[in-house]
Structure formats: structure tokens, C-alpha cells
Amino acid sequence: MLPSKLVLFALVAVGCLFAGLVQAHDEDTASIALTKDTFQAEIDGSNYFVMFFAPWCGHCKKLAPTWAKLAESKNDDSTLKVKIGRVDCTTDGDLCSEQDVTGYPTLKFFKLGVSADQSVKYRGARDLDAFNAFIREQLGIEEDESEETVAEPPKPVSPLVELTDDTFAKHISSGKHFVKFFAPWCGHCTKLAPTWEELAKSLEYDTSISISKIDCTQYRPICTDFEVKGYPTLLWIEDGKKIEKYSGSRSHEDLKAYVAKMAGGLKLDEATEKVEGAEKDNTSAVVQLSQPDFQHAIEKGVTFVKFYAPWCGHCMRLAPTWEQLAEKFVGSDKVKIAKVDCTLEVNKDLCGEQDVNGFPTVYIYRNGEKLSEYNGNRSLEDLHDFVTRHLTEHDEL
């Protein structure tokens, strides 16, 4: 009888756990639940801000109450002409695949009258003020300019995060982190410091990865918890858990290759080869742009631009397809397929001005005007179709 009771208790525990995971979303009755059967009809009839989620996802559960509040304030306000929806990707996986959902939660804005493959992916902070500002921007609603005071722009923040006893646990609790555990007196740590800062700067516009450091002479208990026995110790941490210790070369190139492997799932030798060879091909049909020539390059015709980082795994996977796409338009004076390396110092301001918050970010421009961000499938056919749809009726290839 005892084994049977243990099995019963285990089943009850699992049931309770699952109920807790989905409870937050079950309690959300304000946002509109969309399915494969209703999705297209809904976005054809209204502007929609949609969360694609999975009930078991910790970040989704954390966002759920805020999303419900946003829905409460928007779905009953006819003056805004926007609806807040949600799609459960565990029950509508095909729909999520069609929308190129590769992580949870994914937030997208679907504009009325615009094709779903031109939806805008939200990449900002997950609070009500940020959501409301994003919605106003998408709807073309200007801020109330009657206020006399104007908020100062945020001061630049160093991309290298210095952790303390108060910030460490919260900072590493979610997401991907490459952390340097060091001591100020350590010669190897001092030698690594500028390279570590350079690595952080090269990741400045990728919000999915954090480069940080913690001083073990000040916060010894934290270093003890992570079994730090020498300096510097470099650990890859995901969602609060140590994944592995980095023991390779500490050159900038090798560290970037390691980040590419961990972030993009590439083999280390493949990542190293692609990072080192990123700038060796001088026969590419893709136009390499930079800050000084960018504006001039996009002034005429259609320009499809990939903003990337050489170490980025997703960028590496897209690279051969991007090259094939460029080859299809060789000889055309109507279309340019281009790319911008956001890790280069000369392009930092450009990538910031173009709202590049992750890699790769792909925008299409026509006659100097940014039209939209591309968030569709990254197949050659889909990319080619997207470009040709943005040619004017008088443009012919």
C-alpha cells in the first residue's frame, strides 16, 4: 500500500504544481484569448497587441498580472481602437510557429490593414508605462505637449554590469549571463579587465545577454556559493543556475565565439570560424554600411538592412541566406541588400538611432524612410517576397 500512496501523493503534487503554473493566465479574463481559428479574423478587424506565451514559462507568469491590467485599460476603451490579446503556444503551436515565435513571452503589435508578417516585435521594458508608450507610438498618437516640464534623457549606462550583494541574485535570476568573479589584487584579473569591458560593449544592444562582474573580496559568500576557487573565474549562468565554467583563451575573439556558442547553440569551433571570418569575404553581394555612408545609401530605392553582431548565432545562421538574397538583386538599381555591424564603435550611435535592441534586427527602407521591421520567417523565399512587396508599382527588377 505504501508505494501506491507515494505514487498518489506524487500525482497530487504534480497536479498542484501544474495548476499553479497556469493559474495566472487562467485568471486573466481581460485580455482576449486568440486561437488558430480566431486569430486572423481578429487582427483583420482591429489593431492588436498580442502576447505569445506558455503557461509553464516563468517570465510569462511574472508578466501575466501586468498584461491583464493593460487589457483592462485598453479593451474597453473604444477611443484607442486597440485590443490586447494572448495566444497559448502550448495549445496553438502552429500559430506561434507561423508568427516566428522562438521564445516566451513574445510580444507583437499587429496594425490594422497591415499584413501579419509585418507585425512589430516589442523589445522594451515590461511595465504599463512602457507598454502604453509603445501602443501610442504604433497608433501614431503624440504625447500631450501641454506639460511645461520635459523629462531629461536617461544618462548612458555602462554595458558592463557591476554586481553587489544587493543586486546579484535578482540580476541573474532570469536570462543569460556571463559573469566574471574577480579580486582587485589579481594580476590576471587586471589583465583581463579591458577585454571584459570590450566584450560588454560589443553586446551593448543585445538585451538577451548580460556581461557582468563581481568583486569576491567584498562579496565572498556569493563567490563561495558558486564554488569560486581562483581568480578570475568566468561562469555562464542561465536563469540563476550555473551552466558551466569557461576555461578557454581570454582573447576578445575567443570570448565572443564562446558567447555565440552559448547564446546561439553553435559548436565552439564553428562559432570561432565564423567570427574570425566575418570580415574576410570581399566578394559579397551584400552592401556593408556604416554610420558615415548609411543615410546616403538608403536615400533612393528600397534598402533591406540587417543590423547584426559577428558573434551572434542567429546572425550567423541568417548570413548565407542574406547573401543569396543579395545575389538575387545584383545589377538592380532599385534594391540594395545591406548589413551593419553594430559591434563597431563607428556604428554604435547609428544602431541606437535605428532602435536596434537585439540581433539580428532587420529593417526595410524606401527612399530614405524606414517602413517597417521584418519579423517573418527567414527563408530565402519569404525574404524575397517581403522585399518585392515594398517596391512601388513603378519599380521593376
Consecutive H or E run containing 106: strand 106-110
Burial 222-245 (b: 16+ CB within 10 A, else e): bbeebebeebbbbbbbeeeeeeee
Closest CA to 302 of 180, 394, 392: 392
* Residue 69 · residue 128 · CB < 8 Å: yes
Closest CA to 189 of 223, 210, 157, 215: 215
Which of the residues are catalytic?
186, 189, 312, 315
Whole-number Å distance between alpha carbons of 208 and 231: 26
Name the residue with cell 515565435.
Answer: 101
Name the residue with cell 530614405.
Answer: 368
**Three-state SS for 190?**
helix
Calculate the dihedral angle through the C-alpha atoms of 274, 280, 285, 289, rounding to the nearest 10 degrees: 90
**Which residues on neighbouring strands pair with residue 337, listed in sequence order?**
304
